[in-house]
């Protein structure tokens, strides 16, 4: 195999801004690749990011995908920055061609890198309303991600979250105003792509108005063209205008624009070709959402889904159930004439050009020594603290409980609820409240908590004059629902009837609808240390300026939020 462009070294962080001409060297390389190797360039499987030995079974399987199948890239999941960088370097060194490394770095690398800078989720940025905040999150994401060897982020989320019951988008969206979302999507793309990383707008043509998780089953959106054109497509049109590198398809059915059919948009030419390329004029890389998700494999199977997605207009086939099965199915489709070689070559060329623009044919590995100098560094953390402070929303304080806390330190009971994705929710909030002089009794609840735990919580609540509930509920793949356990909602609501109480959301803003008697509601967006500390400072006198970027039925309109100026209190 003639690999005239291939070499190894340290990857630069050159900004992938602007389209690049088709180079003769890429064309020569493309012509030299056998059919299966060209197909393999389209296939990008998922690998774990945590530490294991290189001969561990799962990682050995990933090595086989690189060594034997010659896949075009990998999607890296959760791990420490050094573990991720070491894994990716090892795979890059073994790969015949450089790998394009991608990851879901939504609202910062902390989404996947344990130790990355923790920003609020996109909806928190929508609450601040500042395009510069979205740009800066994109900038830091690119710098931290490139430091560990990641070249493409599957972000920003461009969905308009106009369905409070959406179990999978929620705070991953910037909000429900299409034009506000478009402005922040554009800023995020610029921040990412001007600092060396490729951005991906997702989930096309819009996953915000669904009540079904596409990881489980096929969501159906009944919108017609006029509705899509004025709501869902507004941020995607802005992303295309901003020069976004890639657009990811959504596994959703749109019978209103698909002649009444209910099949995933990922495999529908009217969506990926007709709508995305012809109507929106997108000329970049079209990528599928994960091909092993229930919305696809349950109806189409692991062999047919990737072929249909490619025929529909996708260039890159992400996270197939079995990469070898996918390559085999695609080879059969090409050899039978179902897929033309010209069509295949167009997609392969797009991918090779992205690799060339990144300089991967010259240098493809990163320096492990430089990772700690970039990921989670102090100026990034300081910026995250400022953005988190601007994201805090005081959605209501009819009983004055928040103003009481802000006026002077109080004795309070903090009841913290976190699920398996946020088992330490409330810890940083409690620590910062104590540092601000409040006398805090901390009680923890979890999904497994039974009646005895709730009885203990009631006893602790009764011992102090004020209660604060910190609740971390966020969208989680394959869960299918989003909301508080009934026992928790009952505890919060009954407490609010009996004594001053504050509900602090460390995730979904919609949970207050489950507690109609709560009058004091603070939205802090995330169960990470920086957002929790920002919430504690807001409860202790820091300025509060955020606005809800979504409606929260039945009572809170779009833009709801009470301003509070900074209060100067003596240090405890």
pLDDT, tens digit (0-9, with 9 covering 90-100), for 91-123: 999 999 999 999 999 999 999 999 999 999 999
DSSP annotation of 263 reads: S
**What is each CA distance from 208 to 104, 456, 475, 508, in whole angstroms?**
18, 39, 12, 14
Report DSSP letters for 267-278, one per residue: G-HIIIIIIIII
369 is a catalytic site residue: no
Q: What are the structural domain ranges in the chain?
A: 31-46+119-351, 392-538
Q: Average pLDDT for residues 402-427, to the nearest whole number?
A: 95
Residue whose structure tokens are 């009885």 = 455
DSSP annotation of 104 reads: -
> Model confidence over 233-286: pLDDT tens digits?
999 999 999 999 999 998 888 887 776 777 788 888 989 999 999 999 999 999
- Report helix, strand or coil for 217: coil
Q: Is the pLDDT of residue 569 over 80?
A: no
Write down the pLDDT at residue 231: 95
Write down the pLDDT at residue 16: 54
Average pLDDT, the chain: 92
* pLDDT band with cut points at 50, 70 and 90 for residue 3: very low
397: Cβ–Cβ under 8 A, 6 or more apart, which residues? 403, 519, 520, 521, 562
> Model confidence over 319-344: pLDDT tens digits?
998 999 999 999 999 999 999 999 99
HSE-up of 281 (CA within 13 Å, CB side)?
Answer: 7
Contact in structure between 190 and 135 (CB atoms under 8 Å): yes
Q: Is the pLDDT of residue 480 over 60?
A: no
* CB-neighbour burial class of residue 434 (10 A; exposed 0-12, middle 13-18, buried 19+): middle
246: Cβ–Cβ under 8 A, 6 or more apart, which residues? 152, 198, 199, 200, 201, 284, 285, 286, 287, 316
Q: Is the pLDDT of residue 213 over 80?
A: no
* pLDDT band with cut points at 50, 70 and 90 for residue 7: very low
Write down the pLDDT at residue 13: 47
Which residues make beta-bridge pairs with 318?
Answer: 44
Calculate the CA 539 to chain-centre distance. 28
In percent, how much of the chain has pLDDT > 90? 81
Q: Is the pLDDT of residue 128 over 70?
A: yes
Q: Is the pLDDT of residue 357 over 50?
A: yes
HSE-up of 566 (CA within 13 Å, CB side)?
Answer: 7
- Report helix, strand or coil for 549: coil
Write down the pLDDT at residue 19: 44
Calculate the CA 411 to chain-centre distance. 37
In percent, how much of the chain has pLDDT > 70? 93
Write down the pLDDT at residue 366: 98
Q: Is the pLDDT of residue 2 over 70?
A: no
CATH number of 31-46+119-351: 3.20.20.300
**What is each CA distance from 203 to 114, 156, 200, 292, 314, in whole angstroms?**
25, 9, 9, 16, 13
Contact in structure between 482 and 475 (CB atoms under 8 Å): yes
289 is a catalytic site residue: yes
Which structure tokens are listed for 562? 């009470």
132 or 212: which carries more pLDDT confidence?
132
Write down the pLDDT at residue 570: 64
Q: Average pLDDT for residues 507-536, to the nearest whole number?
A: 97
Distance CA 547, CA 458 (A): 32
Question: Is it true that domain 392-538 has CATH number 3.40.50.1700?
Answer: yes
Helices and strands counted in the chain (H then E): 20, 15
Q: Is the pLDDT of residue 24 over 70?
A: yes
The DSSP H or E segment spanning 147 is: helix 131-147
Q: Which of 213, 289, 315, 397 is catalytic?
A: 289
- Report helix, strand or coil for 47: strand
Which residues make beta-bridge pairs with 501?
Answer: 467
Q: Which of 151, 203, 207, 215 is catalytic?
A: 215
Write down the pLDDT at residue 216: 56
Q: Is the pLDDT of residue 49 over 50?
A: yes
19 or 390: which carries more pLDDT confidence?
390
Annotate 113-146 with b (16+ C-beta within 10 A) or e (fewer).
bbbbbbbbbbbbbbbbbbbebbbbbbbbbbbbbb
Highest mean pLDDT among 62-76, 202-216, 290-304: 62-76
* pLDDT band with cut points at 50, 70 and 90 for residue 8: very low
Write down the pLDDT at residue 9: 38
Residue whose structure tokens are 């229930």 = 294
* pLDDT band with cut points at 50, 70 and 90 for residue 215: low
> Model confidence over 418-434: pLDDT tens digits?
988 888 999 999 999 99
Contact in structure between 74 and 328 (CB atoms under 8 Å): no
The DSSP H or E segment spanning 466 is: strand 466-472
Q: Which of the residue ranges 18-22, 103-107, 518-522 would you say has the lowest mean pLDDT? A: 18-22
């Amino acid at each position: 195999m003639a690999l005239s462009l291939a070499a190894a070294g340290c990857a630069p962080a050159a900004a992938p801004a602007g389209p690049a001409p088709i180079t003769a060297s890429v064309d020569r390389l493309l012509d030299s690749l056998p059919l299966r190797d060209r197909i393999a360039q389209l296939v990008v499987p998922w690998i774990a990011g945590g530490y294991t030995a290189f001969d561990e079974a799962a990682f050995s399987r990933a090595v086989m995908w690189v060594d034997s199948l010659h896949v075009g890239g990998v999607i890296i999941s959760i791990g420490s920055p050094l573990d991720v960088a070491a894994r990716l370097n090892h795979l890059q060194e073994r790969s015949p061609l450089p790998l394009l490394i991608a990851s879901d770095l939504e609202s910062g690398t902390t989404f996947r890198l344990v130790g990355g800078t923790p920003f609020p989720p996109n909806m928190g940025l929508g609450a601040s309303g500042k395009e510069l905040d979205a740009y800066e999150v994109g900038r830091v994401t690119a710098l931290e991600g490139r430091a560990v060897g990641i070249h493409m982020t599957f972000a920003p989320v461009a969905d308009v979250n106009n369905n409070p019951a959406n179990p999978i988008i929620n705070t991953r969206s910037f909000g429900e105003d299409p034009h506000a979302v478009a402005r922040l999507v554009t800023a995020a793309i610029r921040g990412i792509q001007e600092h060396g990383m490729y951005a991906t707008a997702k989930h096309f043509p819009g996953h915000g108005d669904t009540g079904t998780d596409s990881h489980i089953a096929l969501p159906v959106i009944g919108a017609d063209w006029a509705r899509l054109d004025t709501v869902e497509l507004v941020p995607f049109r802005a992303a295309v205008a901003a020069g976004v590198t890639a657009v990811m398809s959504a596994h959703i059915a749109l019978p209103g624009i698909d002649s009444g059919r209910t099949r995933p948009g990922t495999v529908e030419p009217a969506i990926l070709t007709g709508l995305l390329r012809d109507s929106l004029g997108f000329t970049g890389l079209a990528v599928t959402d994960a091909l092993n998700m229930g919305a696809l494999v349950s109806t189409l199977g692991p062999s047919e889904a990737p072929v249909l997605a490619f025929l529909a207009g996708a260039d890159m086939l992400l996270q197939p159930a079995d990469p070898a099965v996918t390559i085999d199915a695609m080879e059969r489709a090409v050899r039978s004439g179902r897929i033309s070689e010209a069509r295949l070559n167009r997609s392969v060329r797009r991918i090779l050009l992205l690799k060339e623009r990144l300089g991967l044919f010259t240098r493809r590995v990163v320096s492990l020594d430089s990772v700690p100098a970039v990921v989670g560094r102090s100026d990034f953390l300081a910026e995250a603290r400022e953005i988190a402070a601007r994201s805090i929303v005081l959605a209501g304080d009819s009983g004055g409980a928040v103003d009481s806390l802000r006026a002077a330190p109080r004795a309070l009971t903090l009841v913290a609820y976190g699920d398996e994705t946020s088992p330490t929710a409330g810890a940083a909030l409690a620590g910062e409240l104590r540092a601000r002089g409040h006398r805090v009794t901390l009680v923890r609840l979890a999904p497994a908590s039974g009646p005895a735990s709730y009885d203990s919580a009631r006893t602790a609540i009764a011992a102090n004059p004020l209660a604060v509930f910190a609740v971390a509920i966020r969208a989680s793949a394959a869960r299918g629902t989003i909301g508080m356990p009934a026992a928790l909602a009952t505890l919060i609501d009954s407490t609010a009837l009996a004594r001053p109480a504050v509900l602090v959301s460390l995730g979904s803003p919609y949970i207050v609808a489950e507690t109609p008697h709560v009058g004091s509601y603070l939205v802090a967006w995330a169960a990470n240390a920086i957002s929790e500390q920002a919430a504690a400072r807001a409860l202790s006198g820091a300025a509060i300026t955020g606005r809800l970027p979504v409606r929260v039925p039945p009572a809170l309109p779009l833009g709801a939020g009470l301003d509070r100026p900074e209060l100067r209190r003596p240090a405890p």
